[in-house]
């Protein structure tokens, strides 16, 4: 049975019963709620209009972090909550969430700011319960970030956080839920809320692959559509007057050869003093983010603008003047939309990033928040869901997110390097054994200049509900972001590996290639 056939089976089950919960939105928020629902014995199904993690959850800065900025705003509660979640995830899924140091260079002058930052760092580290070194010397800086601007440089502050692959995190959480009996269907769009005389009682969805419609009856409908949350809310009768302010955050991805960094750098943008991050990720440099009102509407995929590219390059060239980075060094770009609650602040960056939960006319909307705190958001949502579903067990008890105990002994994995084995177990849990075991020696090689194995492509095509080629290139693996021209060079080999598994004719393959390259050109490369 290929991935598409198992999708058909899940679609066939949609109308057979009344579900306890239907969750709309397959980003980290929806995935987290699905996981915590099924764990409490609820019959739960999730529908996603595009691909899993297609929205903001594949386009974040990839940090699993406490958020020094919340501390600066005096929000100790949110910082503490995030730091605890960060530590849990580092412990539970090594290889997918990895602790990393961020250096903030500091320069001559501004003693007060330096003192404040140092005090903040002490508090930040204390909140995680670990004592960590929080300064590095000039000579250390030269080793860790050789090209950093050296005029008047005094040293660097060290901030400890973690880095992940956001899209794979969503898939790992989804898999955990599916294992316990939940259902999740991609390319299945919620069109119309179903209502009885009292409240919302289900949703009409469209399978966008076949065009078929299904009525899903459910005790509770959860709207976890992030920046799109207001679209569904428009259909309800009694709603509050709050609404979403979609803010765009864009990134550029560069070759690490052009900007050698051994640690991540957090810097202040010279134009507006906003913090911007330069992160080493998957052997590349990920740089972002911008934070501006998204004026382009939500019906098309977001893209970076020329102005944002310039803003990010200006910050890079300010902090690393000798590197002389230009647009030619940009391999790819990505733009995500952050749902924040509109309070009318002039500066978008001043709007709160907390999550909100509203129960309106039987529709439970949850939006905002962070990737890092997805489990906290899920439990908070289920707490509110009790109004409709009755008491649910263990909501106050923080269990592990992942029940699966990952069990590996690096000696047994066909001479793959330890870091590769760890990476695979982080991404696939214990299924990594099967992934490695079933693969030919040839497919256990990495795709040139990446850490991704050919075997991962084959695995995803077989097991991970790939509907379109872009699912495979941009979210199951990230090679479309990491390779020049979206990895066009390797498409013939990927075709050899996957066309038969996916059950695509030659014509379908060609259509899929065109679709992927169009998406890449319009939304993941530099603007024309």
- List C-alpha distances in Å: 391 to 59, 366, 394, 395: 35, 19, 10, 9
- Smallest separation (angstroms) from ligand FAD to the CB of 489: 28
Q: The tokens of 292 are what? A: 């501006």
Nearer to ligand FAD, 161 or 329 (CB): 161
Q: The tokens of 183 are what? A: 């259902």
- Asked if 379 and 395 touch (Cβ cutoff 8 Å), the reply is yes
DSSP string, 366-430: EEE--STTHHHHHHHHHHHHHHHH---TTSSS---S--------GGGSTT--HHHHHHHHHHHTT
Nearer to ligand FAD, 313 or 377 (CB): 377
Nearer to ligand FAD, 202 or 336 (CB): 336
- Smallest separation (angstroms) from ligand FAD to the CB of 214: 12
Nearer to ligand FAD, 190 or 482 (CB): 190
Nearer to ligand FAD, 39 or 62 (CB): 62
Residues in region 252-311 near ligand FAD by CB under 6 A: 289
- List C-alpha distances in Å: 55 to 27, 49, 317, 399, 403: 6, 10, 30, 27, 26
- Smallest separation (angstroms) from ligand FAD to the CB of 169: 10
* Rounded Cα–Cα distance for residues 393 and 399 (Å): 12
Nearer to ligand FAD, 25 or 487 (CB): 25
- Smallest separation (angstroms) from ligand FAD to the CB of 4: 19
- Smallest separation (angstroms) from ligand FAD to the CB of 415: 34
Residues in region 328-387 near ligand FAD by CB under 6 A: 336-338, 369-372
Question: Does 200 contact ligand FAD by CB under 6 A?
Answer: no
Q: The tokens of 180 are what? A: 């316990």
- Smallest separation (angstroms) from ligand FAD to the CB of 368: 7
- Smallest separation (angstroms) from ligand FAD to the CB of 241: 21
Tokens 């640690």: give the residue. Answer: 263
Nearer to ligand FAD, 20 or 207 (CB): 207
Q: Alpha-carbon dihedral of residues 103, 105, 106, 108, nearest 10 degrees?
A: 160
- Smallest separation (angstroms) from ligand FAD to the CB of 225: 4
Q: Which of 35, 55, 85, 313 binds ligand FAD (CB under 6 A)?
A: 55
Number of residues that bind ligand FAD (CB under 6 A): 36
Nearer to ligand FAD, 222 or 227 (CB): 227
Give the angle 208-214-217 at the CA atoms, nearest 5°: 135
- Smallest separation (angstroms) from ligand FAD to the CB of 55: 2
Nearer to ligand FAD, 49 or 439 (CB): 49
- Smallest separation (angstroms) from ligand FAD to the CB of 22: 10
Nearer to ligand FAD, 60 or 278 (CB): 60
Q: Which of 36, 50, 81, 207 binds ligand FAD (CB under 6 A)?
A: 50
Residues in region 459-498 near ligand FAD by CB under 6 A: none
* Rounded Cα–Cα distance for residues 354 and 363 (Å): 20
- Smallest separation (angstroms) from ligand FAD to the CB of 195: 16
* Rounded Cα–Cα distance for residues 157 and 160 (Å): 10
- Asked if 217 and 19 touch (Cβ cutoff 8 Å), the reply is yes
- Smallest separation (angstroms) from ligand FAD to the CB of 285: 15
- The set of long-range contacts for 126-133, using a CB threshold of 8 Å and a minimum separation of 24, is 127/66, 127/76, 127/79, 127/80, 127/83, 128/66, 128/83, 128/84, 128/86, 128/87, 128/160, 129/87, 130/87, 130/160, 132/158, 132/160, 133/158
Nearer to ligand FAD, 374 or 413 (CB): 374
- Asked if 291 and 348 touch (Cβ cutoff 8 Å), the reply is yes
Q: Kindly state the helix (H) or strand (E) to which residue 255 belongs, with its residue range.
A: strand 244-255
Pairing of strands 284-288, 275-281: antiparallel
Residues in region 167-196 near ligand FAD by CB under 6 A: 189-190
* Rounded Cα–Cα distance for residues 465 and 184 (Å): 10
Q: Which residues neighbour 337 within 8 Å (Cβ) at sequence distance 6 or greater?
A: 55, 56, 226, 227, 246, 247, 248, 249, 294, 298, 302
Q: Which residues neighbour 320 within 8 Å (Cβ) at sequence distance 6 or greater?
A: 147, 148, 149, 259
Nearer to ligand FAD, 141 or 162 (CB): 162
Nearer to ligand FAD, 335 or 421 (CB): 335
Sign (positive or negative) of CA dihedral 350, 356, 360, 362: positive
Nearer to ligand FAD, 145 or 205 (CB): 205
Q: Using CB atoms within 10 Å of the CB of residue 320, give its burial: 0 to 12 exposed, 13 to 18 middle, 19+ buried.
A: buried
Given the rule CB under 6 A, which of 53-61, 313-321, 382-390, 482-490 is the region that contacts ligand FAD?
A: 53-61
Residues in region 202-241 near ligand FAD by CB under 6 A: 224-228
Give the x/- contact pattern for ligand FAD in 60-79, rule: CB under 6 A.
xxxx-x--------------
- Smallest separation (angstroms) from ligand FAD to the CB of 35: 13
**Residue 442 CB neighbours (<10 A):** 8
DSSP-based three-state secondary structure for 452 = coil
Give the x/- contact pattern for ligand FAD in 10-49, rule: CB under 6 A.
--------------xxxxxxx----------------xxx
Given the rule CB under 6 A, which of 58-66, 147-155, 318-326, 387-395 is the region that contacts ligand FAD?
A: 58-66
- Smallest separation (angstroms) from ligand FAD to the CB of 250: 7
Residues that bind ligand FAD (CB under 6 A): 24-30, 47-50, 54-57, 60-63, 65, 189-190, 224-228, 249, 289, 336-338, 369-372
């Amino acid at each position: 049975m290929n991935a598409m056939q198992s999708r058909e089976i899940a679609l066939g089950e949609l109308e057979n019963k009344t579900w306890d919960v239907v969750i709309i939105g397959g980003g980290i928020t929806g995935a987290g709620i699905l996981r915590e629902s099924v764990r409490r014995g609820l019959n739960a199904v999730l529908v996603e209009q595009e691909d899993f993690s297609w929205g903001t959850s594949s386009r974040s800065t990839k940090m699993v972090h406490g958020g020094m900025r919340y501390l600066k705003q005096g929000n100790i509660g949110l910082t503490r909550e995030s730091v605890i979640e960060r530590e849990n995830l580092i412990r539970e899924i090594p290889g997918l969430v990895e602790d990393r140091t961020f250096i903030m260079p500091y320069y001559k002058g501004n003693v007060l700011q330096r003192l404040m930052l140092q005090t903040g760092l002490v508090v930040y580290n204390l909140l995680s319960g670990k004592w960590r070194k929080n300064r590095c010397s000039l000579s250390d800086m030269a080793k860790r970030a050789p090209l950093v601007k050296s005029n008047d440089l005094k040293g660097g502050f060290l901030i400890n956080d973690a880095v992940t692959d956001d899209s794979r995190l969503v898939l790992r959480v989804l898999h955990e839920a599916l294992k316990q009996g939940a259902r999740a269907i991609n390319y299945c769009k919620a069109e119309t809320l179903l209502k009885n005389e009292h409240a919302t009682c289900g949703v009409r969805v469209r399978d966008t692959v076949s065009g078929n419609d299904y009525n899903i009856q459910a005790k509770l409908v959860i709207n976890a559509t992030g920046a799109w949350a207001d679209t569904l809310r428009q259909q309800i009768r009694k709603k509050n007057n709050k609404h979403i302010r979609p803010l765009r955050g864009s990134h550029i991805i560069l070759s690490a050869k052009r900007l050698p960094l051994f640690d991540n750098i957090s810097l202040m943008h010279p134009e507006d003093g906003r913090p911007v991050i330069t992160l080493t990720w998957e052997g590349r440099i990920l740089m972002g983010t911008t934070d501006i009102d998204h004026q382009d509407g939500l019906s098309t995929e977001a893209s970076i603008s020329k102005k944002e590219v310039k803003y990010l390059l200006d910050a890079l060239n300010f902090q690393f003047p000798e590197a002389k980075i230009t647009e030619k060094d940009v391999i790819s770009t990505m733009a995500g939309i952050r749902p924040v609650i509109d309070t009318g602040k002039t500066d978008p960056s001043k709007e709160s990033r907390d999550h909100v939960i509203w129960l309106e006319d039987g529709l439970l909307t949850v939006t905002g928040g962070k990737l890092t705190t997805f489990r906290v958001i899920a439990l908070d949502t289920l707490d509110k869901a009790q109004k409709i579903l009755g008491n649910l067990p263990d909501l106050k008890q923080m269990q592990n997110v992942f029940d699966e105990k990952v069990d590996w002994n690096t000696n047994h994995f066909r001479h793959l390097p330890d870091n590769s084995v760890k990476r695979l177990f982080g991404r696939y849990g214990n299924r990594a054994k099967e992934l490695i075991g079933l693969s030919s020696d040839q497919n256990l090689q990495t795709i040139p200049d990446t850490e991704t194995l050919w075997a991962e492509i084959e695995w995803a095509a077989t097991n991970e509900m790939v509907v379109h080629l872009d699912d495979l290139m941009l979210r199951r693996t990230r090679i479309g972001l990491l390779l020049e021209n979206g990895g066009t060079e390797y498409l013939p080999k990927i075709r050899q590996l996957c066309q038969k598994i996916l059950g695509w004719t030659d014509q379908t393959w060609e259509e899929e290639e065109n679709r992927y390259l169009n998406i890449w050109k319009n939304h993941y490369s530099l603007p024309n």
